Structure formats: C-alpha cells, structure tokens
Amino acid sequence: MIPIELLLLIGASLVLICILLFKFFDNFGIPILLLFLGIGMLAGSEGPGRLYFDDPRLAQAIGIIALVLILFAGGLDTKWSTVRPVVRTATTLSTLGVILTAFITGIVAVLILGLSIKTGFLLGAIISSTDAAAVFAILRSRHIGLKPPLRPLLELESGSNDPMAIFLTVVLIQLILVPQTGAVSIIVFFLLQMSVGAAVGVIVGRLVVFTLNRLRFFYGGLYPVFCLAAVAFTYALATLTQGNGFLAVYIAGIIIGNSYIVQKRSLLRFFDGFAWFGQITMFLCLGLLVYPSRLVPIIIPGLLISVILMFVARPLSVFISLVFSGFKWREKLLVSWVGLRGAVPIILATYPLLAGIAQAELIFNIIFFIVISSAIMQGWSLPLVARWLKVAVPPETKRNYPIEFEPRPGIDTDLTEVIVPFESAAIGKSIVELGFPEDSLIVLIVRGENYIVPSGGTVLESGDVLLILAGTGGMQKVTDILSRQMPGAVE
C-alpha cells in the first residue's frame, strides 16, 4: 500500500505544477482543460510519470464532487439581473438543443462506428452538453469579451444543460440493459429529475440565506464551512429523492449569490478557490485515467465525429433552438462555436464502463478524443471567432481594491466604481468645486497604477476611477455631474 505521505506529495506536486504552468501558458490563450488533461496524461501510466490509475469509479466520484463545486461557484457568481432576459432562450438550448445534438451525433456515430442504434444515441447523449467548467474558465478569462447578452446566455446554458445530458445518458443505459423499459416510466423519471432538483435547489438556497443572516458566528471561518456542507447536502438530498443534484446546486448557488448574506465576499472567494481546485483535480484524474495508446486507433473516426459535432450537430441544434429568439445570425454562429466539451462528457463516459455496456471502452476513448479536439479547435480560437463575427468587446478587467464595502439590507448605500469621462467638465477641477451631494463620498481614486486617498482639494483627471460611497439618488447626481461635458466639446 502506498504511504499517505507519498500520495500527498504526488498530488500536491501535480496541483502545483498545474498552477505554475497555467500562469505561464495563460498568456498564450491555451485552454486550461487541455493543459490539465495533458499534465494528467503525462503523469499517467503511459507517460513519463508512470503513475498507474485505472479506477473509473473513483474518477467518476472525484469528477462529480468537483463538478458540484464548480456549478455552485458558477451559480454564486451569476447575476440574476443579467441572465433574466435570456432564461427562456438558455432553457431552450439546454433542453431542445441538447436533445438535437445527441440525436444528430448519435446517427453519425452509428454510421461511422457501426454501433447499434441505442449505443450510438448513448454516445451522442454523453457528448451532447457543453461543459460549464470550460465555458466559465474561457468566458471569465481576460482574453475575451462578448456583446450582451451572449455571455450570460452561454454561461447559463452551460450551467443548466448537464441535467438533460445526464438524463439522456441514464435513460439510454437503462434501455440498453432493460429493453422493456416503457415510455411512461421515462417521462416520470424526467419530471422527477427536473422538478425535484429545481425544488430542492430553491428550498435549500433560501434556507441557507435565511440561516446565515440569523446566525452570528463568532468565527468568520464557519460561514464557508456551513455553505460547503450545505452544497453537499443539496446535491445528496436532490439525488436521493430522485432529483437532479447538479441542477439543485446550480439553482441554490444562483439564489444565494443574488441575496444579501453575511460574509458574502469571503464566500465568493472561498468557492472560487474551491472551484479552481475542483477543476485541476478533476482534469488531472481524468487525464490519468486515459491510455494515449488506445486513442491512436480511433483518431480518424473520432476526428470525423468531432468535426460533424462542431460544424453540423451543434450549429443545427443552436439555429433550430434560437429560431424565435431574435438573435442575429452572427450571434447564433458564435453560440454554435462555444460548444466546448470538457469534463462532464468524460465523467458521463464512465457510466457505461461501470454499467458493463458493450463497447463502453470504445465510447470512452471516442469521447475523450472529441473533448481534446474541441479544446484544441474551439477553446483557443474563440477570441478570434468572436472578433471575426464582430460580436467581441474589450474584456472586463477586474481590479482588486485595498478597501471593500458590504451593503446591508435596508440601507440604500453601496460602493460604486465610476470613471471620469474624456472631455468631462469635472476634469481639472477639485472635488470641492464640483458640488457633489452630501450623501456621497469619494473614498478612493485610482489613477493608473496609483491609489489616491482624496481630499476636497484633490483635482480630477481624465480616466480617473472613482470609488464612491453613495445612495441611489446621490449616485445619480454624481453621475450627472461627471457626465457634463466641458464647453466646446463635440457631442
């Protein structure tokens, strides 16, 4: 038996290598999925690391835990006001779009690989959903910005389409193992999965908000521990009551993230870190699980299926799903190209292995190859495609400020970031000359890389970033003052 100290040394070394290499390769826009999977394959039994790992059940368990954390963190960081206008569209993509993708890809798998109809559709179901971890990582990176509402649409779709892919995968495995399974039981199973999962997510999410706001822990570190336990509880409860646990934790995350809760900023940082740890661990384990030599014989059929998935199945499903959405063809093409496959299909590919389905190993290898080709072809090229389709905007840059403010319920005050516009009449004037309302206060000025604590005599310059503490009414007056143009400026 391997000593626990050695396991810790190996695991920690791999995680550290992933983080250090990510810092280096991120400058080149290489998708983290490809990087972490590659490190796992190099460390595996056929790579230089020679680490033997052949336990699909353990890999599946690690992947599920990691995905739960990733989806919850994604929900926490999702602003409901931003995604509300695209909920209906995202829901259509995550249901009808997934079904169409699975159907088209399944037919292709039958024709190219010679699989049975059910087995071919099983492969299509496994690869039918976009991957939340991959999409979140790319869309929230510093390499790309998209015109609204594309980013919230893609993030909401990727976070909510896994339940449909899981449902289709489980149903097709059941149909293969028990051909007598009836349509009524499938419909009941679907309704239970979605309704129970959504209900558990809503109920637990609201209970967590209610509880956190009434508990006054003396130790701040107990808040993230409480939420971490609540996430595990949500997934387990939903799954054990025949609901979809992934849908439950994502909905719970959205509810908690869009409510006032104590220690909210620290919770966001905590789960963001856990989500990154989950991604690294999950991709490493899945990389260790694959044998590169087994991918060689399926390169040609895998490449054919991958190309058809990216250029036919995904675009067709998107254009059909968005036919009444009002999106322009350029935006639909961009949504089609953001069909990134990642850890979720690989995790789902372990289901046939554990169920003893015939040709399960072939399915796993094909899925793994498709995921790699998707990362190579779609992941790195997304910024280029967005610019080519003219739907790209400058990416948002998040600056970390040395001060923070946590709003309280019932208090109409918040810390807002405002940029002094070019040709603003406020340029060259001191703060005291501008006549800001009494209920507003400039607490910090960011000028280039410098932080300035202002006084009444501080003179504003073009491009200054002002951190202003004000209520809604005062903030509107401040915005009006700063937006006034200097005499002679061209509007």
Fold of 414-483: Alpha-Beta Plaits (3.30.70)
- pLDDT exceeds 80 at position 339: yes
- What 3-state class would DSSP assign to 440? strand
Residue with tokens 């979720």: 344
Residue 469 DSSP SS3: strand
**29-388 CATH pick, 1.20.1530.20, 3.30.450.80, 1.10.490.10, 3.40.50.10420:** 1.20.1530.20
Domain segments of the chain: what residues? 29-388, 414-483
Using CA atoms, how far apart are residues 430 and 81, in angstroms rounded to an integer? Answer: 36
Indicate the pTM of the whole model.
Answer: 0.82
SS3 state of residue 411: coil
- Any idea which of 126-135, 258-267, 331-340, 397-406 has the lowest mean pLDDT? 397-406
Q: Is the pLDDT of residue 26 over 70?
A: no
Residue-averaged pLDDT of the chain: 86
* Predicted local distance difference test score (pLDDT) of residue 484: 77
Residue with the bigger pLDDT between 203 and 267: it is 203
Q: 442 forms bridges with which residues in the sheet?
A: 468
Angle of helix 264-289 relative to helix 343-355, nearest 10 degrees, comes to 50
User: Whole-angstrom Cα distance, residue 239 to residue 248?
Assistant: 9
Percentage of residues of the chain with pLDDT beyond 90: 37
> Distance (Å, rounded) from C-alpha 466 to C-alpha 470?
12
pLDDT tens digit sequence for 286-306: 888 888 888 889 999 999 999
CA distances from 149 to 130, 154, 324, 393 (A): 18, 9, 16, 12
Amino acid 312: pLDDT: 95
State what percent of residues in the chain have pLDDT above 70.
91
- The pair phi, psi for residue 338, each rounded to 5°, is -85, 55
pLDDT tens-digit series, residues 154-199:
888 988 888 899 999 999 999 999 988 888 999 999 999 999 999 9
Check residues 399 and 281 and name the one with the higher pLDDT: 281
d(CA 347, CA 134): 14
What's the confidence (pLDDT) of residue 491? 47
- State both tokens at 337: 């190209």
What tens digit of pLDDT does each residue of 28-58 get? 656 777 788 889 888 888 888 888 888 888 8
d(CA 82, CA 257): 13
| Paired residues of 392 in beta bridges | 146
Q: How far apart are CA 317 and CA 295, in angstroms?
A: 28
